[in-house]
């Protein structure tokens, strides 16, 4: 039996797409086993809920301030690879994947890298030079990967534009189930506000400050981030709105019937997507892929100053294709409310955005990536 090792972590944005690939891989190849390597930052709890075997690796971020920590993570990676003897490494990138991929490269284990964003970060540029195949989530230029021809020739690197993988169930939600969960009637437009797997304080604060105006024109679903919304479960979903967030909750209380906050959505997320007419979101690759797969007209608010401004590049990639609208965080107070109201009151504009963002989604991204893994595995077994 062959084992595929999935390496990556730091946020759920690294793990959730990898789980989608692992599920499809095992569906097509029941004889293949999978194992995950993740960080201790919360991905392990998610993998436990998914009943997927995993190892927690305490690797440092891409900084040489603590080289002994990196060496320790590298030695742990070597021991893990010797223990489970994987045939192929599938890396979702991030600092967790670096020691694993270095160990795999030294042990001549093929590495497939998936780059989710429109620009490669430092860790993935390093991993790409060791990889045999790089799958791209955005239609970025090869030059932006900063790979020299000599690098490609040395490792026989192949590049594929596969898009970003989605869980199969994420586009199969029920509008009716979403309405039951939120308590909304469905007679007004529904706005979905989301800040990524870790939430977004600036978006939460803006929402709190403008909630009365928002709920005068639409119903609001707000994914606040872990620990930022507390629900009174025994009082029903609408009463959850009265519990507030870790921001000034005073403006929220009169709007409870039109406001549904939730700190984190997993299995119910597909239903929330299905009942949403507009979205306001950070520009992480995973969020964009799910919004595109569900065809939701979206205003993107990229987070600046992290990981080579990848969210800015992601958002601009959609903006160039007229597949989403973009507001910078500095422009939120000046532009965001007017932009939302225009979309709410203009169904034709929403339909244009819906069509454009759907075009951005590669429907069989997960299957394409599984094919890359299968071909890599077959090539290794044939040698």
Instruction: Please give the full DSSP string across 168-187, using - where no structure is assigned.
Output: GGGG---HHHHHHHHT--SS
Helix locations, the chain, DSSP H: 12-28, 43-49, 67-84, 97-106, 122-128, 149-155, 175-182, 201-215, 269-274, 285-293, 310-320, 337-344, 347-360, 365-381
Q: What's the confidence (pLDDT) of residue 149?
A: 41
Superfamily grouping for domain 169-360: Glycogen Phosphorylase B; (3.40.50.2000)
Most confident of 4-13, 90-99, 139-148: 90-99
Integer Cα distance of 360 and 98 in angstroms: 29
For residue range 253-288, list pLDDT tens digits in order: 345 689 999 988 888 999 999 999 999 999 999 999
Per residue in 154-180, pLDDT (tens digit) is 445 789 999 999 998 999 999 999 999
Integer Cα distance of 350 and 366 in angstroms? 27
Q: SS3 of 332, please?
A: helix
* CATH of 3-166+364-381 among 3.40.50.2000, 3.30.43.10, 3.40.718.10, 3.40.1010.10: 3.40.50.2000
Q: Which segment, 201-215, 231-245, 299-313, is predicted with the most confidence on average?
A: 201-215
**pLDDT in the model for residue 261:** 94
115-125 mean pLDDT: 91
Residues across the chain: 383
* Residue 220 confidence class, pLDDT cut points 50, 70, 90: very high
Instruction: Provide the residue ranges of all domains of the chain, joining segments of one domain with +.
Output: 3-166+364-381, 169-360
The pLDDT tens digits of the residues spanning 340-369 come to 999 999 999 999 999 999 998 888 999 999
**Does position 238 have pLDDT exceeding 90, yes or no?**
no
In contact, 37 and 54? CB cutoff 8 Å: yes
**Sheet hosting strand 33-38, strand order edge to edge:** 54-56, 33-38, 3-8, 88-93, 111-115, 133-136, 158-161
Mapped onto helix, strand or coil, the DSSP state of residue 306 is coil
CB 133 within 8 A of CB 112: yes
Q: In angstroms, rounded to a whole number, what is the distance separating the alpha carbons of residues 248 and 184?
A: 24
pLDDT(42) > 50? yes
pLDDT of residue 252: 42
| Structure tokens, 167 | 């869980």
Q: What is the SS3 assignment for 53? A: coil
Write down the pLDDT at residue 213.
Answer: 95
Give me the phi and psi of 137, to 5 degrees please: -85, -25
Is the Cβ–Cβ distance between 8 and 38 less than 8 Å?
Answer: yes
Q: Report how far residue 342's alpha carbon sits from residue 64's, in angstroms, rounded to the nearest whole number.
A: 48
Most confident of 118-127, 229-238, 283-292: 283-292
- Binning pLDDT at 50, 70 and 90, where does residue 379 land? confident
State the pLDDT confidence band at 152, using cuts at 50, 70 and 90: very low
Rounding to the nearest 10 degrees, give the CA dihedral for residues 331, 333, 339, 345. 180
Are 39 and 76 a contacting pair, CB within 8 Å? no
Q: What is the mean pLDDT of residues 226-233?
A: 47
Q: Taking the mean position of all CA atoms in its chain, how far away is CA 194?
A: 12
Q: Which of 131-135, 159-163, 211-215, 240-244 shows the lowest per-residue confidence on average (mean pLDDT)?
A: 240-244
- Cβ contact 255:215 at 8 Å: yes
């Amino acid at each position: 039996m062959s084992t595929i090792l999935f390496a990556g972590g730091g946020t759920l944005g690294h793990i959730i797409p990898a789980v989608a690939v692992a599920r499809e891989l095992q569906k097509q190849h029941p004889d293949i086993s999978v194992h995950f390597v993740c960080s201790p930052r919360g991905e392990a709890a998610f993998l436990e809920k998914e009943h997927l075997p995993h190892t927690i690796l305490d690797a440092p971020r891409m900084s040489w301030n603590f080289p002994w920590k990196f060496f320790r993570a590298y030695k742990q990676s070597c021991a893990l690879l010797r223990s489970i003897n994987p045939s192929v490494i599938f890396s979702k990138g991030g600092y967790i994947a670096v020691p694993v991929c270095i160990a795999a490269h030294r042990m001549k284990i093929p590495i497939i890298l998936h780059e989710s964003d429109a620009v490669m970060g430092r860790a993935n540029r390093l991993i790409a030079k060791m990889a045999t195949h790089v799958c791209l989530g955005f239609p970025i230029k090869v030059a932006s990967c900063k790979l020299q021809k000599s690098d490609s020739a040395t490792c026989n690197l192949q590049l594929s534009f596969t898009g970003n993988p989605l869980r199969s169930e994420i586009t199969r939600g029920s509008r009716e189930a979403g309405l039951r969960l939120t308590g909304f009637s469905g007679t007004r437009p529904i706005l979905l506000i989301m800040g990524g797997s870790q939430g977004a304080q600036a978006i939460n604060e803006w929402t709190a400050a403008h909630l009365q105006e928002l709920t005068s024109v639409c119903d609001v679903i707000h994914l606040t981030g872990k620990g930022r919304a507390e629900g009174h479960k025994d009082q029903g979903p609408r009463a959850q709105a009265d519990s507030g967030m870790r921001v000034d909750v005073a403006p929220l209380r009169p709007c409870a019937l039109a406001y549904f906050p939730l700190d984190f959505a997993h299995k119910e997320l597909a239903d929330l997507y299905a009942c949403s007419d507009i979205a306001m979101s950070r520009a992480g690759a995973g969020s964009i892929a799910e919004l595109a797969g569900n065809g939701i007209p979206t205003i993107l608010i990229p987070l600046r100053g992290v990981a080579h401004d990848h969210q800015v590049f992601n958002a601009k990639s959609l903006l160039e294709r007229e597949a989403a609208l973009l507001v910078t965080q500095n422009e939120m107070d000046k532009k965001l409310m007017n932009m939302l109201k225009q979309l709410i009151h203009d169904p034709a504009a929403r339909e244009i955005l819906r069509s454009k963002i759907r075009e951005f989604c590669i429907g069989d991204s997960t299957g394409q990536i599984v094919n890359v893994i299968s071909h890599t595995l077959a090539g290794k077994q044939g040698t």
